[in-house]
Structure 1
Amino acid sequence: MAKWLDMLGAEVTGYALPPQNDEVHEPSYSKNYKSILGDITNFEFLRKAIEEAQPEIVFHLAAQPLVRYSYREPLETYATNVMGTANVLEAIRGCDSVRAVICVTTDKVYQNKERQEGYREEDRLGGYDPYSSSKACSEMVIETFRNCFFSTDNSEGKHKALIASARGGNVIGGGDWSQDRIIPDIIRAKINSVPLEIRNPNAVRPWQHVLDCLLGYLSLGTHLLDGKAENASAYNFGPLPNERPFTVNEIVEYAKNHWPSIPVISQPSSLHETTFLSLNCNKAVQELKWNPFLSTEEAVNWTFDWYNAFFQNECITEQQINTYQNLMG
């Protein structure tokens, strides 16, 4: 997101925790960025950072984003995802320059009933595990701040920024090194020459390339910057209905087309994880005129192309963004 915004001519300030490992794709970073190392649970430090940056638009993507980690650290998960979101919105409430806010949550905010039909934005929120639950809670925080403190009708005494939430699917793409995610797990298995452990090979997720997802966030942000209060709501961003659902095992098979030598072993988990998850994205398609440009197969191949370049000490983030923009026409 930061790289793409920079390429579009934006003045970018980033606020994030220090990287947890050395495998970050620093070559893709622009010297034009201002990078602030901080925690969103530290309200005063966050408030000062936003006040100094004087942003027009804020993309809130900070989170504890891992399901299995949330079982180990539920308090940290709720502190980051719920109070962290409240801190971001409260800090923005004190900054008059902000006109638009995109709060990124997840496809897992819905009460999952393992149904084949994709979840719609008006479906009931919920969450079995602490991560999913915390993100559903953050959606309620977003709605409360929108209703009480931010205006969609030029109300006196309310901040004029428009706020929307974006519920992305299972995002894949280069540069992800998180634990307990299938693509990074594949990459670590290759780097370390160890077997790839698969917990649930038949699990189905709404896989999508990060650039398709970010295009949705950028489209939503553009509508809010244009003052379109009717778009200050929740939107799903995932594969379109004509995309055949991919299982975890199929993602692994695509990886083995690139790196056939990776051994795979089954390692079932006792922790509850959803088996089937799908999103209905008709609202974003109809109201934002958003469409993904990459099929699931292309998304997987683009992702492995990025890591293949990384193994050659190259970074193709900007190249992939340029190629993607050419697909957009």
Structure 2
Amino acid sequence: MGEMGKKIIFGDVYRNKKVLVTGNTGFKGSWLCSWLISLGADVYGISKDIPSNPSMFLELGLADKMTHYVADVRDFESIEKIVNEVAPDFLFHLAAQAIVSFSYSEPLDTISSNVMGTANILEVLRKYDKNCTGIIITSDKCYDNVEWIYGYKETDAVGGKDIYSGSKGAAELMFKSYYHSFFKKDGVNVRIASARAGNVIGGGDWALDRIIPDCMRSWSVGKVVEIRSPKATRPWQHVLEPLSGYLQLGERLHKDHSLNGESFNFGPKSEYNHSVQEILEDMSVRWHFENSKDAYIVTGDIKFYEAGLLKLNCDKALFHFKWKPTLNYKTLIEFTSDWYYEFYKNKGDMFTYTKAQIEAYEDLALAEEIAWTR
């Protein structure tokens, strides 16, 4: 705690700083911008469209609370012009084609967005003539999943059997090659790191072919949700968990240049591995279903290849800056279910509600003495 009991979050490093977020209209991007606004940052965003309906970006009225540019990360000239106009102190690159199922119908769009989009951001940063800290966000799917039970470390092989995983692995290779070719030199004014996370849930996600959004869309109109793989197990985490990692990584890289070029995993504790069936049953309680069997039915209709369990080893982030997750499983369920319930049933002011969840998350982290609250 700082003066007069005021919380000091991420060392107050983002206050009054210009922070540019690509993919700011997406689920994670909207949460990140909301948090940065509450941290006192001057927030800018770049995205090519509003990716879902409903949209968290629109429901929170974020266009009125930040500066928003419409541009595609595949358009190098437009991105370079915006970056130079904004002159950011920090850049978080989240813009991507993020839906696995879409990568099967539109593989080239996925590759161009995730690979060339990332290369364009790195190229803009290479030519940028001011001090900047760049965090390149990829995915836990960047790893070559060989279906082992161990957590993947940052040094494990990247790649994958599907287009989405391949595109994320290739984005990491772009990051690595750009670092060694251009950003590793002494005296460089831009520092970069990459961050990997996955299985993120939370209020405000309305993407297609994701179990929680599908579930909430169905429950909001009194329908039973159809699920295809009830026994599928994932290491679920609330969206604020990896975002706390990205923001702490940005803070640490800003202060500690030895982290330049490093990659970090941000994932939940291993005991957070729960099946789809478990998580839906627990969420249905928050939606006042008397019998969870009224909440979902199993179809077994598997439309595309899905990898088995993929866990991350997060020891590196713990070692370098003592990052660890904050929420327990019960609170993860409450935060996620209650956000959607507030939106659909109570018709609340969702920016105020989202800000309150962020503050509650900060308070829980403070009580746990998580490193980024000190």
Q: One-letter code of the match for 1:74?
A: P
Query: Are 2:363 and 1:326 equivalent residues in the alignment?
Result: yes
1:179 alignment partner, one of 180, 184, 208 = 208
Q: What is the CA–CA distance in structure 2 between the aligned matches of 1:287 and 1:169, rounded to whole Å?
A: 21
Deviates more, 1:230-239 or 1:117-126: 230-239
Q: One-letter code of the match for 1:317?
A: T
Question: 1:67, 1:131 within 8 Å by CA — same for their partners in 2?
Answer: yes
Shift of 1:255: 2.3
Deviates more, 1:201-210 or 1:163-172: 201-210
2:267 corresponds to: 238
1:275 corresponds to: 308
2:190 corresponds to: 161
The runs of 5 or more residues in structure 2 that have no matched partner are 1-31, 367-374
Q: One-letter code of the match for 1:48?
A: K
Shift of 1:52: 0.6
Correspondence list, 1:13-24, <5 A: 13-24=44-55
Shift of 1:296: 2.8
Question: 1:3, 1:29 within 8 Å by CA — same for their partners in 2?
Answer: no
The runs of 5 or more residues in structure 1 that have no matched partner are none
Q: What is the CA–CA distance in structure 2 between the aligned matches of 1:134 and 1:21, rounded to whole Å?
A: 22
Structure 1 pair 300/22, CA: closer, same or farther in 2 (3 Å)? same
Q: What is the CA–CA distance in structure 2 between the aligned matches of 1:43 and 1:106, rounded to whole Å?
A: 23
Q: What is the CA–CA distance in structure 1 between the aligned matches of 2:302 and 2:262, rounded to whole Å?
A: 36
2:9 corresponds to: none
Deviates more, 1:73-82 or 1:193-202: 193-202
1:191 alignment partner, one of 220, 239, 246 = 220
Deviates more, 1:291-300 or 1:168-177: 291-300
1:58 corresponds to: 91
Q: Normalising by structure 2, what TM-score?
A: 0.83
Give the superposed CA RMSD: 1.6
Q: What is the CA–CA distance in structure 2 between the aligned matches of 1:322 and 1:167, rounded to whole Å?
A: 24
CA deviations over 1:102-139 (Å, ceiling 9, x no partner): 11111111111221111111111111111111000000
1:224 corresponds to: 253
Question: 2:176, 2:261 within 8 Å by CA — same for their partners in 1?
Answer: no
1:9 alignment partner, one of 35, 40, 57 = 40
Question: 1:152, 1:162 within 8 Å by CA — same for their partners in 2?
Answer: no
CA deviations over 1:288-322 (Å, ceiling 9, x no partner): 21111102332122111110111122111100011
Off by >6 Å, runs of 4+ in structure 1: none
CA deviations over 1:223-249 (Å, ceiling 9, x no partner): 1111422353110000124x2411111
1:82 corresponds to: 115
Query: Are 2:70 and 1:42 equivalent residues in the alignment?
Result: no
Identical amino acids, percent of aligned pairs: 40
Q: One-letter code of the match for 1:292?
A: P
Structure 1 pair 297/116, CA: closer, same or farther in 2 (3 Å)? farther
SS in 2 for 1:71: helix
SS in 2 for 1:68: helix
1:28 corresponds to: 60
Question: 1:12, 1:34 within 8 Å by CA — same for their partners in 2?
Answer: yes
Q: What is the CA–CA distance in structure 2 between the aligned matches of 1:152 and 1:189, rounded to whole Å?
A: 53
Shift of 1:29: 4.0
Q: One-letter code of the match for 1:253?
A: E
Query: Are 2:277 and 1:257 equivalent residues in the alignment?
Result: no
Count of paired positions: 324
CA deviations over 1:149-208 (Å, ceiling 9, x no partner): 213533xxxx42111110012111111100111110101111344332212222222211
Shift of 1:49: 0.9
SS in 2 for 1:12: strand
SS in 2 for 1:306: helix
Question: 1:202, 1:275 within 8 Å by CA — same for their partners in 2?
Answer: no
CA deviations over 1:24-76 (Å, ceiling 9, x no partner): 23353453410111111111111111111100110000110111110111000
CA deviations over 1:231-278 (Å, ceiling 9, x no partner): 53110000124x241111111112221332433232331521112111
1:208 alignment partner, one of 220, 237, 247 = 237
Query: Are 2:133 and 1:104 equivalent residues in the alignment?
Result: no
